[in-house]
Amino acid sequence: MLRLSAVLALAAATAVLGGLADALASGHAGRALAFGAGLVGLALLHPLVLAVEMLLAHRAALLGLASAAAQPHCFASVLPSPAAPTPDPVRSLRPWIRAWRAEVRVSLRAFAWRMPWRVRAEPDHLPHGARGQRGVLLVHGYLCNRALWNDWIARLRAQGVPVVAVNLEPVLGRIQDTVLAIEAGVQRLEACTGVAPLAVAHSMGGLALRCWWAAHGGDARLHHALTLATPHRGTWLARFGQSPNARQMRPGSPWLQALAAAEPPGRAARCTCVVATCDNVVFPSPQAVWSGATVVSVEGAAHLDLIDRPQAWAALERMLAGPGAGG
């Protein structure tokens, strides 16, 4: 979602690396040293911003649902009703420190390597003879691309499962403007398998999927949705974003209210929400719960780190092996 530090670091790192290469080619050791120092500084900046996010999210967890009901504070407007099914908040600081370390590793790999350089490394898999087999649609989140799912694409291909990973565009536009990419991906899977696919969506991708489902996809076109760290109820951190899609993800935004009003009753029952209890972007963590959906809590997981957790993959495998798996 609001990974401003990653965007700035990626753009600056590209410039720094270009300058470093030019300096080395020109024989200017001093310039090369300066560019190298800049690259080290960028590598330190991203973990620092993640640490600030973690501290804010931990603060939200400490406030808790009970205190939100008892007294007003800056997080009260984003906490859901205590009657809603929600994961327990993580109050101890130690799991957040472990989550921060994992998120630094995963996010640097994603933003500095996979998404800029490996976007087509794992192609979609639409095999012949897949009629009647359940396919999988993968939908990334804010400021990401399909390379976020490279490991999942490779694993699904190895199992012979049809899979399509989409790129949501425009990157900083309105969420509803990305549904055409989802529609194209669903159509490709339908043409290959003849049955409604499963969909796995991370972060903002879950809201884009819900928007597509409401506008283009009746219940017959999507077998089940699995959302990972999706801000179904918005996220407090979105108040720092100024792009149209960031504003749409603010808690209580008119867009979120209109989306809920456009959905048929009971739609959430066809969704499983996987929630990261140490999410540094979608927080407080109950914001990742779509009321009426099945909830899977992953203890100690952070926002991007959740994709690498075995519980998320296991949730998809259960759906692929469950009732109606073959169409």
Please write the tens of the pLDDT for every residue from 264-320: 999 999 999 999 999 999 998 999 999 999 999 999 999 999 999 999 999 999 999
Q: What average pLDDT does this structure show over 205-224?
A: 94
Residue 254: predicted pLDDT? 98
Residue 127: predicted pLDDT? 97
- In sequence order, what DSSP letters do the residues of 96-133 get, joined into one string? HHHHHHHHHHHHHHIIIIIHHH-TTSS--B--TT-TTP
Indicate whether 4 pLDDT > 90: no
The answer to whether the CB of 279 falls within 8 A of the CB of 57 is yes
Residue 33: predicted pLDDT? 53
Least-confidence region, from 39-43, 87-91, 96-100: 39-43
- Band the pLDDT of 91: cuts 50, 70, 90: confident
Indicate whether 7 pLDDT > 70: no
- Band the pLDDT of 196: cuts 50, 70, 90: very high
Looking at the chain, which runs of residues are DSSP E strands? 136-139, 163-166, 198-202, 224-228, 271-276, 294-298
CATH number of the domain that residue 38 is part of = 3.40.50.1820
Residue 245: predicted pLDDT? 97
User: Per mean pLDDT, which of 36-40, 68-72, 241-245 is the most reliable?
Assistant: 241-245
Please write the tens of the pLDDT for every residue from 127-156: 999 999 999 999 999 999 999 999 999 999
The answer to whether the CB of 234 falls within 8 A of the CB of 258 is no
Indicate whether 3 pLDDT > 90: no
Strand-pairing partners, residue 139, are 166, 201
The answer to whether the CB of 61 falls within 8 A of the CB of 92 is no
User: For the chain, what is the mean pLDDT?
Assistant: 84
Pairwise CA distance, residues 312 & 317, whole Å: 9
Could you tell me the CA-to-CA distances from 321 to 14, 190, 218 in Å, in that order? 43, 19, 23
Indicate whether 2 pLDDT > 70: no
The answer to whether the CB of 87 falls within 8 A of the CB of 127 is no
Structural domain for 236, as ranges: 1-327
Residue 9: predicted pLDDT? 46
Strand-pairing partners, residue 271, are 225
Residue 44: predicted pLDDT? 72
Count CA within 13 A, CB hemisphere, residue 57.
Answer: 33
Indicate whether 125 pLDDT > 90: yes
The residues, any chain, with a CB within 8 Å of residue 227's CB and separated by 6 or more, are 200, 201, 202, 205, 206, 209, 271, 272, 273, 274, 288, 290, 293
Indicate whether 232 pLDDT > 50: yes
Residue 68: predicted pLDDT? 37
Q: How many domains does the chain have?
A: 1
Residue 60: predicted pLDDT? 86
Indicate whether 29 pLDDT > 80: no
Which among 22, 114, 93, 55 has a CA at the least distance from the CA of 237?
55
Residue 185: predicted pLDDT? 98
Indicate whether 61 pLDDT > 60: yes
